[in-house]
Structure 1
Amino acid sequence: MTLYIDADACPVKDEAIRVAERHQTRILLVCDGGLRRPNSQWAELVIVPEGADAADNWIAERIGPGDICVTADIPLADRCLKAGSRAIDPKGREFTPDNIGSTLATRNLMTDLRSAGTMEGGGGKPFTPRDRSEFLNGLERVFQAIKRGR
């Protein structure tokens, strides 16, 4: 089992590392630079070339069954699920085969509306301590489900 973290803009890197360390799981923080390697025997920093989707592509090409990806990127989460892994966002919501289709469709619709000028946008709500707590609980649930074979 490996925990992949789409690390460039991930607000819960430290929390994800703590949970993975507790489960003695390999951690790969994937980014295009600007991060320092975490002080953890379980963690590795993977620097990919700069470019659109370089980190996403690197993760999607390697992730597989039994692995987990932490990402806010819905298309990456979809690719991870198709590879047989699990995916969770920084607010603790797990992406599943049951919800990824509608989540991806909503994301695409909002992107289209913003690009057509129909809707102003950008940025989500501020990240809160409750979000951080929900992430910790959600990631722990995913680890436990994998260990139980679900």
Structure 2
Amino acid sequence: MFQRISKSRSLEATSIVFSSTLQIGDCSYIDGTVHALAVQRRSEVLHERDDDFSDYKIFFQPFVFPIITEHLQMRFDNLCPFIETGNIRINAVSTGSVVGIGNVGHIRMTSKIHHTRQLDRNYGNSNKSSGVKNQ
């Protein structure tokens, strides 16, 4: 199935978080899905029950993958059986991402993120008492 061999001298990854994957070696399929709620607020207090996925219909709508209608013709001439890299340094991989060293047959990645900004009711008035002007 796979035509080439991947070789790397070294790999250093500082941070891999939030459903991310470091795949070393060949694999047939990578199928990744991320659902995330991103809430920004001024308060440092965590509420017992913040928003839930069931509060937003976006997480229940099906993904629509576009249909490729163009005719593709590909030809590969692998003159060397190796794909070689030197040293790989990764600072961070986050939120359902994949770093792959090796061959992958098929990859499908989907992501749904709902961003919410929650402002205090007194946000515009709070700066007046501290002497800071609203800009």
- When the two structures are superposed, what TM-score results if normalisation uses the length of structure 2? 0.22
More strand by share: 2
Larger Rg: 2
Structure having the higher helix fraction is 1
Q: What TM-score comes out, normalization by structure 1 length?
A: 0.21
